Amino acid sequence: MSEGAAKKEEKPRKFQAIRGTRDLLPPETALWNRVEQAVHEVFATFGFGEIRLPILDPTELFARSIGVDTDVVSKEMFTFWDPFDQRLPPKYQIEEARARGINIQNEGELATIGLALSFQQLTLRPEATASVCRAYIERNMQQLPQPVKLYTIGPMFRRERPQKGRYRQFYQIDAEVLGGSDAPGIDAELIEMVMTFLERLGLEGVQLHINSIGDKNCRPKYVELLREELRKVKDKLGPDSQRRVETNPLRVLDSKVEGEQEIIEKLPRISQHLCDACRENYDEVKRQLALRGIVYSQNFRLVRGLDYYVRTTFEITAKGLGSQNAVCGGGRYDGLIELLGGPPTRATGFAIGEDRLILSLQEQAKSKEVASGEWRVASEKPRVEVYVAWMGEKAYATAIRAAKNLRAAGFSVELPPVEQKFGKALGQADKLGARYALILGDNEVASGEWTLKTLATGEQATFAEADLLKFLGKNRSGE
């Protein structure tokens, strides 16, 4: 084989999205936007403001707040070393070093920075709470009227085993209430907000599960008791749970391993071991939920994998998701801000898994014969409402003007960039699923009477330019 022939056979590499990540495409993205629009609207009515956070934060922030013992920190974080760039001019190196907490006074001292100091570890955020707390402290939000209510929407990253409803890049809708008191009304209202939001989307089969995991007075004693009981049955547990008996016995309670279920059901439950203050708090949260007409079930196994939670924890499940059926997890985390160097601060929040929420909405729509609900209309609105079929130079100028006016009135318009025979243009309009074709040829331009064809029925009508907009406005698709 000649060299030339060998070269010909070499195909350029085809790239694929990284395992566990995916592209979200239209028309599905219309549904994502619809969901996010509902977040902005509903959360604002509860007094929440949006915070936008960096995707990267120092690894230590997550290690400290999530806990080194958790799966997230010990095996799932995307972490990398950010090298200190010694090729930069000295002025920038000094700035960079100071930003990393290395205090350098002058150029002469630059040479003394060893390589060990010149890297920092960064992580693609696996969740938002830690970063929201970092921002609360860094931006002195404790000086604002308390509590501060914030929400954020965006991608999170965890190196988990991908499956339906579980990705390595996934999206969360996250809300936090920081500062103020720990009045049970705050927990109940936060839950009310997420339930209102899910109701607004028309999500069916939503179930709220709640629990209290006590606080630093009563939980350690319960954890010890749990550990003792678990040690007695240790040889009947799988390897993960066996390890957790020593490292984090609470986590055994959320094990999904088949053979462990019977054992877990017989373990002591935290509700029997809450101190008086925590029991009263839990009773009041339940009363406050009832006041708001919110139905819940209690689940003693709801412990959450993260270390900083106290008292109320909750989870919301939805239909159509198989084993990954939790769409929202949340709870109180009064100790976290202090752990991150801030003042003692009460806090509670939740994270909704947006991917799963959307999967559940889609499954729900699939299982119904008749499409219903506003969001579905949004995702099914045709991409093209008006296809402008034009022929001739004069008609082209008119077509450009028509497209501009229609777009300004909010219609989605397709204007072919090169001249096409009308037959071909109408075929193209059909393929795109356009609702109307606006036909502009020499005759139309000369008479000022434009022809509009409704593609589904084949009906044609003529309009003066001004009347066309009025007609289209009255017959808007999706309305």
Report the interface residues with ligand AMP, using CB under 6 A: 127, 158, 160, 165-167, 170, 172, 326-329, 351, 353, 355-356
Pick between residue 66 and residue 413 the one whose CB is nearest to ligand AMP.
66
CB of 156 to ligand AMP, least distance (A): 7
Pick between residue 42 and residue 399 the one whose CB is nearest to ligand AMP.
42
CB of 400 to ligand AMP, least distance (A): 45
CB of 311 to ligand AMP, least distance (A): 16
Residue 220's Cα: distance from chain center in Å?
A: 33
CB of 103 to ligand AMP, least distance (A): 36
Count CB neighbours of 234 within 10 A. Answer: 12
Task: Give residue for tokens 């593609």.
Answer: 455
| Inter-residue contact 134 to 340 (CB < 8 Å) | yes
* Listed residue (151, 171, 177, 163) closest to 55, CA to CA: 171
Q: Cis (ω within 30 of 0) for the bond into 27?
A: yes
CB of 274 to ligand AMP, least distance (A): 22
CB of 41 to ligand AMP, least distance (A): 21
**Nearest-CB residue for ligand AMP:** 353
Residue 196's Cα: distance from chain center in Å?
A: 17
Pick between residue 324 and residue 462 the one whose CB is nearest to ligand AMP.
324
H-helix or E-strand spanning residue 350: strand 347-353
Pick between residue 198 and residue 351 the one whose CB is nearest to ligand AMP.
351
Pick between residue 301 and residue 356 the one whose CB is nearest to ligand AMP.
356
Count CB neighbours of 69 within 10 A. Answer: 15
Pick between residue 358 and residue 399 the one whose CB is nearest to ligand AMP.
358
CB of 96 to ligand AMP, least distance (A): 32
HSE on the CB side for 294, CA within 13 Å? 30
Q: Residues of 244-266 as b/e, b for ≥16 C-beta within 10 angstroms?
A: bbeebbbbbbebeeeebeebbee
Strand 436-440 and strand 386-390: the pairing is parallel
Pick between residue 156 and residue 468 the one whose CB is nearest to ligand AMP.
156
416-to-323, 339, 421, 428, 443 alpha-carbon distances in Å: 47, 60, 11, 10, 19
